[in-house]
Amino acid sequence: MLFNSLTFLLHFFVFYLIYYYSSFRIRKLLLLIFGIYFYSQWGIGGTILLFASILFNYTIGILIDRSSLARKKHLFVFGIVSNVLYLAVFKYFLFVWGVLSDIRIEFGETPIQWKPNILLPIGISFYTFHNISYLIEVYDKRIMVCKNIFTFILYDLFFPLLLLGPIERPGNLIPQIEAERKISKGMIWNGLSLFCFGVFIKSSIADPLSRYVEIHVSSFTSLEPGILWIIAPTIAFQVYADFFGYSLCAMGLAEMLGFELMNNFKRPFFSSNPSEFWSKWHISLSTWLRDYVYIKLGGNRHGFFRENINLMLVWFLTGIWHGAGYGFIIWGFYLGVCLILYRVLKHIGLTKFQNKIFTGLGIVFTFYTFSLGLLLFRITAPSESLLILKNLKSIPTLQQIPFSLFFIIFPLLVFDLWQEWKQTERPTFFISTKPYFVSAILVFCFFWFSIVSPFGKEDFFYFQF
Instruction: Determine which one of 282, 302, 322, 347 is catalytic.
Output: 322
**Element containing residue 347 per DSSP (H, E):** helix 326-347
Would residue 322 show up in a list of annotated catalytic residues for this protein?
yes
Nearest Cα to Cα of residue 317 among 284, 290, 279: 290
Alpha helices in 375-455 (DSSP H): 384-392, 404-422, 436-451
Q: For residues 370-408, b (16+ Cβ closer than 10 Å) or e, as one string?
A: bbbbbbbbbbeeeebbebbeebbeeebeeeeeeeebeeb
Alpha helices in 355-395 (DSSP H): 356-374, 384-392
- As a whole number of angstroms, the distance between CA 368 and CA 279 comes to 17
Residues with Cβ within 8 Å of 112's Cβ and at least 6 positions away in sequence, in order, are 97, 100, 101, 104
- As a whole number of angstroms, the distance between CA 206 and CA 9 comes to 19
What are the CA-CA distances from residue 51 to residues 88, 138, 150, 152, 233 (Å)? Answer: 18, 20, 12, 11, 39
Q: Kindly give the interhelix angle for 44-66 and 124-139, rounded to the nearest 10 degrees.
A: 10
Nearest Cα to Cα of residue 461 among 289, 253, 252, 240: 240
List active site positions.
322
